[in-house]
Amino acid sequence: TQLLEQSPQFLSIQEGENLTVYCNSSSVFSSLQWYRQEPGEGPVLLVTVVTGGEVKKLKRLTFQFGDARKDSSLHITAAQPGDTGLYLCAGAQGAQKLVFGQGTRLTINP
Amino acid sequence: GAVVSQHPSWVICKSGTSVKIECRSLDFQATTMFWYRQFPKQSLMLMATSNEGSKATYEQGVEKDKFLINHASLTLSTLTVTSAHPEDSSFYICSARGGAGEDGANVLTFGAGSRLTVL
């Protein structure tokens, strides 16, 4: 099983600050996805990155896929309390299953 | 967009009983569904891959006789926790592959999860 190391696992910052979450592996993935999960609910897909070096933006969220397709990052600019949640990266192993990172529990304090 | 419905959303049962959780793809056909388990404040752990019309593929360490998976149609997969014990209490989540993403990538749609509490 290919492992995804996600860091940090916990992050608590003040509203307005910037933050970056990292997702690293020694293995190459065909694609990598970022999800956000609220308590008691299933994960919701934020973005999928496929091409090495790809950068995607979703409002204040910027996602980057490493050139070698082994790592990815999620950067949030000017974080807001509504950004609070569990963020999960997941790497695709071919056309089948996803392997999830440990998750980053983000808390944005007003 | 693709929607996956999971039922029940929560269930409480006595130790020794069996519990069935359903996962339905509402507006698309899913030849493959996945079952995950999530402990509090932890990530999702893949339990098994459910294939329509064939046996499920279980991940290492997951007891196939304990967690029975049936994928009898293209829109329904069920997970039955047999002879449940308190240590089986967890959040179970299913997902289904709902077609290719904008870049042809593997895109999964997740159900809302089922919280099982075994007394």
State the smallest CA–CA distance between residue B111 and chain A in angstroms.
Answer: 6
Residues of B with CB under 8 A from a CB of A: 4, 6, 32, 34, 36, 41-46, 49, 59-60, 91, 93, 95, 101-113, 115
| Partners of residue B6 in chain A, C-beta under 8 Å | 42
| Residue A53 clears pLDDT 90, i.e. is over it | yes
Q: Which pLDDT score, from 0 to 100, does residue B75 have?
A: 92
Q: Which pLDDT score, from 0 to 100, does residue B88 have?
A: 96
Mutate to test the interface with B, among A5, A9, A48, A97 (most CBs of B within 10 A): A97
Task: DSSP for chain A, please give it.
Answer: ----EEE-SEEEEETT--EEEEEE-SS--S-EEEEEE-TTS--EEEEEE-STT-EEEETTEEEEE-TTSSEEEEEESS--GGG-EEEEEEEE-TTS-EEE---EEEEEE-
Q: Which pLDDT score, from 0 to 100, does residue A83 have?
A: 96
Task: DSSP for B13-77, please give it.
Answer: E-TT--EEEEEEESSS--SEEEEEEE-TTS-EEEEEEEETTS--EEPTT--TTTEEEEEEETTEE
- Residue B97: enclosing H or E segment and its boundaries? strand B90-100
Taking 70 as the pLDDT cut, the residues of chain B under it are 1, 98-106
Q: Which two tokens stand for residue A58?
A: 């979703």
pLDDT digit string (tens) for A69-98?
999 999 999 999 999 999 999 998 766 678
